[in-house]
Homo-oligomer: A and B are copies of this chain.
Amino acid sequence: MPGTPPTRFVYLGPEGTFAEQALRTVSAADRGSRTPARSVGEALESVRAGEADAALVPLENSIGGAVGVTLDELAEGAPLVITREVILPVEFVLGARPGTPLGSIRTVAAHPQASTQCRGWLRDWLPEAVVVDVLSNGAAASGAATGEYDAAICAPVGATRHRLEVLADKIADHADAVTRFALVSRPGPPPPPTGDDVTSLAVYIAHDRVGALLSVLMELAVRGVNLTRIESRPTGEALGRYVFFLDCTGHVADVRLGEALQGLRRVCADVRFLGSYPRHRWLEGGPVDRPVPAPAGLSDTDYADAAAWLARLRAGDPT
């Protein structure tokens, strides 16, 4: 984001979801405008079109996995870059119209991913209730409010917004589930390195599988670049053709990550750079900071020493 910071923000709506909650942790967004979008595609298109400066969209969930549509949208169309990640704990509550006894509940509305995450709780506490799939956590809350369903699995903010009584909170089977969101902008110089950064890439490899993926990992390993995430998505061409989404430790401004990127550029069919940004470290109760030193022989200083040595060799001074 060259020059001016973003002021017009868009996020995956509707209002009152986890995405809005995540956006509120971004201080610039507190002072700017915040507009909900109906889909990830719509959010990103409004940034591409210049109608918004940045979009906050979900990348992955520690239970449900990658958000495929976000990955697909980032890999195609005009380039966009991630400038920040936000990791947010995901809490589910069981909400119902005030005064509803737990024992009377026969139907529970829930987004399929939400009911999946609360399966154990439902089995223990509402073994007889029928779970009805709906399209969003918001729709679940709304349906419980109108009486269409007896109860809803939703976010705390959804219960509040729809004036539901919280019959049980923290009902997810994994108490520490989190969702990782990305703040996405039009291309610009990346935020400065912090010493603990992430670089995201979309990598298209040649069709012969073993060799090609092994080559990609070797380009990284030889430069000591760590891979914190790898996701595959079909390219749509044919079964068995994938694009790989990689999250690497390091910043595009780091010498060794730069060399690794150049290596990928040379050996892969295509590489799309999706941004370098500070890692949002999240541990137990909240974000933590844990700096990661470069492995022996791979610091910027080691690279500078080796480059100076090579320059001397080429000039005829092999010492």
A contacts, CB < 8 Å to B: 2, 60-66, 68-69, 72, 79, 81, 87, 112, 116, 133-135, 173-174, 176-178, 180, 187-190, 208-211, 213-214, 217-222, 225-234, 236-242, 252-253, 258-259, 261-263, 265-267, 272-273, 282, 297-298, 302-303, 305-307, 309-310, 313-319
Contacts and interface: CB of A to CB of B under 8 A. Distances in A.
Contacts of A81: 318
Nearest to A245: B232
Given A239-B60, A253-B314, A262 B189 contact: no
A240 B310 CA distance: 27
- Give chain A's interface secondary structure class: mixed
B266 A306 contact: yes
Contacts of A68: 64-65
Total copies of this chain within the assembly: 4
Nearest to A71: B65
Given A64-B68, A266-B298, A239 B178 contact: yes
B214 A218 contact: yes
A177 B236 CA distance: 7
B189 A316 contact: yes
Contact of A282 (B61, B232, B239): B239
A309 B232 contact: no
Given A210-B221, A265-B305, 20 more contacts: A60-B234, A61-B234, A65-B233, A79-B318, A87-B239, A134-B135, A174-B237, A178-B239, A180-B239, A187-B317, A189-B314, A209-B227, A210-B217, A218-B218, A222-B222, A231-B232, A258-B314, A262-B306, A262-B309, A273-B313
Nearest to A305: B265
B213 A230 contact: yes
Contacts of A72: 116
A28 B318 CA distance: 24
Contacts of A219: 222
B297 A267 contact: yes
Nearest to A211: B221
Contacts of A220: 210
A309 B261 CA distance: 9
Leading 8 A-B pairs by shortest Cβ distance: A189-B316, A262-B306, A266-B297, A273-B318, A265-B306, A188-B316, A62-B239, A209-B227
A228 B253 contact: no
Contacts of A189: 314-316
B252 A227 contact: no
A298 B316 CA distance: 25
A265 B222 CA distance: 13
Contact of A187 (B218, B310, B316): B316
A173 to B, nearest CB: 8
